[in-house]
Amino acid sequence: MKKYVFVFPLVILLVLQSCGNESTNNITPDSFNRRALLSYYADSLIIPEYERLAGTTQILSNSVTDFINSPTIATLQNAQNSWIQSYTQWQYCSLFNFGPAVGTFGTLLEDIATFPVKVSGDQVRKGIEDYIIAGDNSLNNFARDTRGFMGVEYLLFSGTNEEIIAKFMGSEGQKRKNYLQAITQDIHNRVVSCGNSWKSYTSDFIARNGTDAGSSISELYNEFVKSFESIKNYKLGIPLGNRVGQTKPEPATVEAYYSGLGFRMLTYHWQTIVRVWNGQTRHGHDGIGFKEYIESTVGGKELSASIVQHIGDVEKSLQQYPPDKALSDAVINEQAKVNEIFTELQKITRFFKSDMSSLLGISITYSSGDGD
């Protein structure tokens, strides 16, 4: 009995010292270089994509100004093409919706990419047309579904080109011009602010290299899973009518409804998920990513192989999608093929969300209500 009297306190002391070191130095027992992982993500994926987004939003703002000053088919089409390029670039940034992307009243994603757009108001709150009629360009409200990329899309794509131009004519058209210019400039300002903040935030991002809640790895991983689930649940599940409480498809809830580019944007978003998993840049450079991190753990190579297989299955299902078919039409008329994509995304959820979380020792810190 006496030998335990002395050994037990010693064990406690060693455990406490170990816990204290982990808390102070933000280190965990594994040997994987998380600092290198975070540094690579920041320097090669996050900051460059935000810089490109800032460039495209500036082009969009300039194109919108040209259209406002001279509403013609040519200037409208130029503004539409600029919107497509900029919103495409957003798909490559939307996963990085943490850190500087989190503001006092919400995230960058909520501020510039909420969909679907609310066109007309009701007893609860106003729609985009109500703000235009009132001449209210202040954006001093929480109606995020009346501005951002989807607000610009509605104003530039809802109707034939001739119908759109007609709405921008006369005294009432001036109100529309003012609102379009205000929300376009707001997108650009928010993107530039977030991108600039990331440059100064990087050192702190790399330094917080633990796996505890609030660490950079935890934030990145949680946004990775959350971004993936937004494809499954919001870009496909709700339009298909597959979410709890729905009784039929709701095609008007698709992303990019007025331009008909919902499936294209979903594909670009999915490509970003895969690149972040692999640690690959858009230009083909293969660096350190979650794949290498997983494979450094016990049982990680098997999980990695399963994820790679399921990524292939998702991409096969995407290839079956009817070319040039608007997603709002496809959820009705090509339901089986779109549901196949949803099913394959559902299958991979467990690996991204549960198995990766367990192996890496990172908790899911957001409430998804997904049910896996």
Q: Buried b / exposed e across 18-57, counting CB within 10 Å, b at 16+?
A: eeeeeeeebebeeebebeebbbbbbebbbbbbbbbbbbbb
Q: What is the pLDDT of residue 323?
A: 84
Q: Cα(275)–Cα(45) distance, rounded to whole angstroms?
A: 9
Query: Mean of the per-residue pLDDT values for the chain?
Result: 91
Q: What is the pLDDT of residue 125?
A: 93
In the chain, the domains with their CATH numbers are 28-207 (1.20.1420.20), 210-372 (1.20.1420.20)
pLDDT digits (tens, 9 = 90+) for 26-52: 334 468 999 999 999 999 999 999 999
Does the pLDDT at position 367 exceed 80?
A: no
Q: Look up the pTM and report it.
A: 0.90
Query: Which residue in 358, 22, 14 sits closest to 212, CA to CA?
Result: 22
Which token pair is 190?
């928010």
Q: Are 111 and 148 in contact (CB under 8 A)?
A: yes
Q: What is the pLDDT of residue 195?
A: 97
